[in-house]
A and B are shown apart, each in its own frame.
Chain A
Amino acid sequence: MIDRPERFAGLYELFRQAEIQLKQTEEIDRNLTIPAVNELRYVAFHLLRALSEQDSNGFDADIERAENHAKRAIYDATEASILSLLEKAEAYQADFRTLECTTEVLPNYVDLLRQLEKIRRGVSDIRASEELYLNRQQYYPQVIESIADLRELVATLEQADPLIRVKSRKKAIQLLLLVISVLAAIFGIAVSVGLHLL
């Protein structure tokens, strides 16, 4: 067995991060992300192979593979969280599209959409090319960065939702009353004209 504690420390750190992301994904998506768990299984496999390796080169290669799998696990778990949050944001967007008070409550709504689109593109671009996706371990720091922003954006939409609804309801009632008043006025005029003619 080759004794290289610094390599194990690096791998341990990545594994810990992967575990944190997986737990976070379970909380956000309420599902266990099997691809990420699968990657962690490969981490264990390569780690055990590295431990049984006598050759230094073989040891390094296996540790590197284990690290790459851990990074992919982080990426897969984080991607699942991002997708879940984007789906939530999409649902809010679909709702807000028909509510006229959205920009009154959220004056920076367009900016929010722009940021959402930027994050969405970040994930989609990696998926767009097979080569990029196979090397997705390189992009795990980017997705970890964007998840904090995304959580904040979705929280903003969540908080604004009831306020927008209350405002829109009030407006709808005002409009309904206006229509009823106009109709009543027309009816009243018609009746008075009719009575006058009689």
Chain B
Amino acid sequence: MSNIDRRSLVKGSFAAIVAGAMVSRTALADASEPILLGVSGPLTGPNAQYGAQWKQGFDLALDEIHAAGGINGRKLAYNFEDSQSDPRQSVAIAQKFVSDPRIVMELGDFSSPASMAASPIYQRAGLVQFGFTNSHPDFTKGGDFMWSTSVSQADEQPLLALYAVRHLGLKKLAVLHQNTDWGRTSRDYFVNAAKGYGADVVITEGYIADDRDFRSTLVRVRDANPDGLILISYYSDGALIARQARQVGLKQTICAASSVYSPKFLELGGEAVEDVHLGTRYFPQDPRPEVRKFIDGFKAKYGGQEPDAFNAYAYDAMNMAAAVLRIGGTDRRAIRDAFAKVHDVPMVIFGSATFDVESRRIKGAMNAELVIRKGQFTLWDGKPT
């Protein structure tokens, strides 16, 4: 030991590093190892809550996948890297995933800046980036390795407009939307559809997602004299708006996008969200077998907790990933090609899902028209409120 000089020590350790790198590159996962997915998403930072919800949805889906025999006999696992929804970190994670031969597909990220900043890396390296909350219309245009099960707002918003204008009979609408890429895109599709159904949009107000005070905005809304409020919100801001709308004396019908569909919306909104209408993709008493399996399984696994929309997206995404892997195996390119081949995968959001190969998205989301009655989400009975 003592007669090893510094130079040979450096040389030796360098050789060891090189050798180690070679081994890890050539070592192919054997069949007893689980198939590994990479997940890039927020576990800390301002969007941490959504990452936590993803995990719940993933874990439930994995339990069911394993109970059904896994992926052709192999287990499925995921490696969740925290990006804080920050593009700087999501690009580093992307490099990490593409250079890790065990990762066969990537899921996420949450926000558009983080997801779309990483897209060029996934596209060039030939690893599928499967974004399941990425509603930005240009996300899948990043390349043929970008696929998404996020409900296209071009599909969702006309359904909401149909509910508000045709079924609830609202004629003068005020639209409040998150001023984000999602909120803006949704607003545009909604306004077009609502006008097509013959309603007037008397005011639209975009707000910053972490705003908490909406009273002045709501006075503006009141002065525009609408007969219905449309919320393109998430559950926490949606609940705040509903509460404050009642406080400033607005008594109009409120109609909300499916993203408020969460038990938290009821908890945070309290009495103020009573009689709020919302269009969703499924509902608690939904008899569809995939929905029953999801809701009952979720409650059993998480101590009676009701699942919300983000749990459902993650659950669906993991099931879709499993379906793709069953066809595509573990080769990254074959997996990309398998996205075009899967058909009629049972999903909570879409019923049964087949990708549109052109847009790399799924068309035709399910639709349920709900209303909150006595603090519960219930199927709308057709009576106006």
Whether chain B is bound by chain A comes out as: no
